[in-house]
Structure 1
């Protein structure tokens, strides 16, 4: 899931003489200090933070967390706050898993979903600082087998491009392949068949693009990604409960289960296994461990007096590299993305670093840091994303910067995150045709259908009708007749929440076997057409 940060870019220019002045004010190369000022203009916040205001904000977290838990109905959450390099708050609320009584605490291990991207960015930054790679190192320099649809882009796309989501790969490319059972290497090899948007001028959030870059860094380091992360980041920071391996998470006794909403109640129905995209979404951790990581980030690479990451290498990750969401109105702040970090400016005029994480199968996570205040908060929840984590982060940020909560953030974040758990398909909520056109004999549809990106799918005829089988794991769905040569099936996965309905439409001439099969679930980028072998 993408970060939730915004940055104002509105500039009022009344005459040509002001253009140069305003441009200079926006540049980081302004002199380090002006007469009578401790900060350069770009570092000046619009609202000061009075002494003691951060402490007052922390003191209100217990009540805020409990209120959100009650209001939302989610089973549990954990929260930690860092101030000036120290963990000043770390607590758990609610239960780890519905049906059990064990409580969440600061040492409960959660799947942190896309917060993994920021963690992984710091792993890469460490290797950049150590001279192993550079942010502008081409991915193929260490993964010679990797390719995209355009040969020039394949040769030039860098580690930084992938971590900034500006490679040109379509939004969430490869996630559907993961759902079908492809492993990491198989997914990355098939990205060459995905259509490309303009290189370095298009932002599109891609878990597996970032994963490809991480794999290149691991290869350059002579090890696998999970071991690299453990060696250069988790162990040096003392993050003993943190791992980039699912097997380590599932072995933890004090771990949170994922929950989805079923019939108005949260149920531990699924278990997300994100190893294929581990650098982008497969980290598991505790708020106590993540507080150490935030302290290091806010310390510009230093933790407890030790350099963990070279400051210059980390700074590149934490500064804006591309516009992620352009302003929708002249008075709206845009969103920016660094290398694995969301970068923005708050209404108080302070730079923020943030990211959210979401598993439709049962995780909602968020962190927000305000470097100028030396403060950061991380919130981990064990339910699918409905905005609880983001709401608590926004409430805390309000209290830190303004001394009061400025609005009811929960409804706003609920609306923003609703698409994450919305059932997929144009036929969702529609009644089947009352008088559908008849189908052909089922044998006309049975067969093997090929696609470069997705591989083969198989349509089998059985006593119960048609069965669709997809991917190396043979994920199977019953095909129910809808109208004419159109059938439907009901997928359920990370990218197709419960209640989804996908059309499966055959192209057929007369009594001959079907020529092609178009699967709606796989056709968002126009590549979901399969040809009969």
Structure 2
């Protein structure tokens, strides 16, 4: 899902990974609440967060719960432990737990071919289609380019169905060979949700409520369609503009079901996320019957290596990193960690487990918080893995700010403030109707004294065409829809129509804005 921009490099091998899983220093004494308060307050102040909910587990027990801020900045409605947040990609572990339940029930196997359940499933390559197993949907190693096809999921709302997404996969060219490397994607988790539905004969949303929420007592977690006012206490996303946190997308009274739910569409409150975490750290006998020890092991075992970043090596002395089924895992200061993050526009989360110690933490944020999440996660984690660490929130925040500045220098985005609207006459050779095989129809047509870009199935992918130097770009109309995109026109040749390709104006922009995977072909004139 919409994810970090940091670069990573691979190190080590699977044998080291498995060995690292057995590491674990002696248990630290329970920390006083004021220690956690100090960390949380410092992060909130540094990044001026609109709202946050934080919980810490030690020895399998919740020892700290804290909330700060408001559901909507300036509203006076305080965040509570029962405030619902979008957990984004933390939904993936719930989807894989559902699949694990179905494996326990004998309704599917991890090595079953996807086409056994979804006969119309197709990847770009026929051999990959035939050999794609249920397990391959979960490890980000399918060949799909990073974030490939995410524009069918976000921005929301849009008109793409899960059937559209499954059909669109056949048109997305691979970025690498099948099972050869890790490249994060979201679409195949949508496919996994449909596999679960086909195997059980019930919709994904029904299965999630019946097989995961209800047995574990996750009574406020929501998926599918629900009523905002009936449920109540819902955090809304914010974007940072200057010194202010601005509401970006307030929910209406009826929350619609969304195609992206298996990949990142679940909402939960802090209380339920802590209950979810404890199920993994210190399961009760009833929870061990809910999901077998064997399937718990499978979900949180390494299945695909992930490159280890320089930052992780420097900060955490990490040697190895991997992806399980809906979980990441790595060694941190000699302790084994199992974790995931969640990112949607204006919503950030993290769930961290130290299973050998039965420790962990969860936090949920309703604002722009990529750096805040990194710093808060690091500061909390060090209390467990390196309690004598002398670095505080300010040190980690300053170090991260410096690293981000260096990365921006290496791949600097152009200053687009001087871009000017393009008049229809100046773009007359290129205006018209276009079509991409998976994103669908595009209208690039005059609108008064400007040229407007509008994707039919994704209404927020619309904006005016601007010129910067000798290039055209589309500047999105909706605030928070960064990054803008370059438009590159290619003339008709050899009897073939003109085409349009795109690229992020900011080369470090969110990989879910996968404009580079689009290939529009001109289909006709503007109305």
- Alignment map for 1:365-376 (pairs within 5 Å): 365-376=349-360
**Structure 2 residue aligned with 1:456:** 441
**Pairing of 1:318-357 with structure 2 (within 5 A):** 318-326=300-308, 333-347=319-333, 349-357=334-342
Q: 441-450 or 160-169, which moves further after superposition?
A: 441-450
Cα-Cα RMSD: 3.8
Number of aligned pairs?
496
Whether the 8 Å contact between 2:9 and 2:307 is mirrored in structure 1 is no
Question: What pairs with 1:290-329 in structure 2 (closer than 5 Å)?
Answer: 290-299=273-282, 302=284, 307-326=289-308
In structure 1, the partner of 2:183 is 204
**SS at 2:46 equivalent:** helix
In structure 2, the CA distance between the partners of 1:401 and 1:167, relative to structure 1 (3 Å rule), is same
| Whole-angstrom distance in 1 between the partners of 2:217 and 2:321 | 32
Quote the residue 2:381 is aligned against: 397
Residue of structure 1 in register with 2:40 after alignment = 65
Alignment of 1:19-98 (within 5 A): 43-45=22-24, 47-50=25-28, 53=29, 55-56=30-31, 58-98=33-73
> Within 5 Å, which residues of 2 pair with 1:138-287?
138-178=113-153, 179=155, 181-196=159-174, 197-245=176-224, 247-248=226-227, 252-271=231-250, 275-287=258-270
Q: 1:531 aligns with which of 487, 510, 522?
A: 522
Q: Map of 1:122-141 to 2, 5 A cutoff?
A: 122-141=97-116
Q: CA deviation at 1:462?
A: 3.7
Say if 1:168 and 1:26 are closer, same or farther in 2 by CA, change over 3 A.
Answer: closer
Q: Secondary structure at the match of 1:355?
A: strand
Match of 2:372 among 378, 388, 396: 388
Residue 429 of structure 1 corresponds to which residue in structure 2? 416
Q: C-alpha displacement at 1:370, in angstroms?
A: 0.5
**Most deviating of 458-467 and 219-228:** 458-467
Taking structure 2 as the reference length, the TM-score comes to 0.83
Q: In the TM superposition, what is the alpha-carbon distance from 1:161 to its structure 2 partner?
A: 1.2
In the TM superposition, residue 183 of structure 1 has moved relative to its aligned partner by: 2.7
Q: Please tell me whether the aligned partners of residues 147 and 191 of structure 1 are also in contact (alpha carbons under 8 angstroms).
A: yes
| Offset, 1:432 | 4.5
Distance 1:8 1:177, change over 3 A: closer
Tell me, which stretches of 5 or more residues in structure 1 are unaligned?
A: 12-21, 29-40
| Deviation for aligned residue 1:405 | 3.9
Indicate conservation of the 8 Å contact 1:7/1:344, yes or no: no
Q: Quick one: structure 1 residues 465 and 42, their matched pair in 2 at CA, closer, same or farther if it must change by over 3 Å?
A: closer
Q: Does structure 2 conserve the Cα–Cα contact (< 8 Å) formed by 1:7 and 1:343?
A: no
Q: Is the CA contact (8 Å cut-off) linking 2:424 and 2:451 kept in structure 1?
A: no
State the alpha-carbon separation in 1 of the partners of residues 430 and 10 from structure 2: 54
CA distance in 2, matches of 1:26, 1:365: 26
Whole-angstrom distance in 1 between the partners of 2:60 and 2:306: 29
8 Å Cα contact 2:239/2:368 also seen in 1: yes
- 1:42-86 deviations in Å (ceiling 9; x for gaps): 6243x3224xx1x11655222321222122100111112233443
Q: Is the Cα–Cα contact under 8 Å of residues 245 and 278 in structure 1 kept in the other structure?
A: yes
Please give the TM-score of this superposition, normalised by the length of structure 1: 0.82
Change (3 A) 1:190 1:416: farther
Q: Please say if residues 350 and 370 of structure 1, whose CA atoms lie closer than 8 Å, have aligned partners that are also in contact.
A: yes
- Give how far 1:306 is off: 5.2
Is the counterpart of residue 504 in structure 1 residue 487 in structure 2? yes
How far 1:526 sits from its partner (Å)?
4.7
* Residue number among 462, 466, 472 corresponding to 1:487 in the alignment: 472
2: CA distance between counterparts of 1:357 and 1:219?
27
Where does the alignment leave 5 or more consecutive residues of structure 2 unmatched? 505-512
Gap change, CA 1:312 and 1:49, over 3 Å in 2: same
Which of 495, 520, 525 is matched with 2:503 structurally?
520
How much does 1:326 deviate? Answer: 4.4
Provide the rounded CA distance (Å) in 2 between the counterparts of 1:395 and 1:152: 46
SS of the residue corresponding to residue 530 of structure 1 reads strand
Q: 1:181 to 1:325 in 2, by over 3 A?
A: farther
Contact residue 110 and residue 382 of structure 1 kept, 8 A: yes
SS of the counterpart of 1:380?
strand
SS at match of 2:440: coil
* Aligned-pair CA distance for 1:250: 7.1
Contact kept? 2:121, 2:129, Cα under 8 Å: yes
After superposing the two structures, state which structure 1 stretch, 390-399 or 209-218, moved more.
Answer: 390-399
- Classify 1:48/1:274 alpha carbon distance in 2 versus 1 (closer, same or farther; 3 Å): farther
Corresponding residue for 1:19? none
Cα deviation for residue 446 of structure 1 reads 3.0
Shift of 1:162: 1.5
Decide whether aligned partners of structure 1 residues 325 and 302 sit closer, same or farther in structure 2, where only a CA change above 3 A counts: farther
Q: Give 1:467 deviation, angstroms.
A: 2.2
Give the structure, 1 or 2, with the largest relative contact order (CA under 8 Å, sep 6 or more). 2
Is the 8 Å Cα contact of residues 187 and 263 (structure 2) preserved in structure 1? yes
The range that moved more, 424-433 or 308-317, is: 424-433
Give 1:288's aligned residue.
271
C-alpha distance 83-131 of structure 1, shift in aligned 2 (>3 A)? farther
Conserved 8 A contact 1:48-1:401: no
Shift of 1:121: 1.8
Aligned in 2, Cα 1:148/1:411: closer, same or farther, shift over 3 Å?
Answer: farther
CA displacement at 1:116 relative to structure 2: 1.0
CA contact (8 A) 1:87 1:292 kept: no
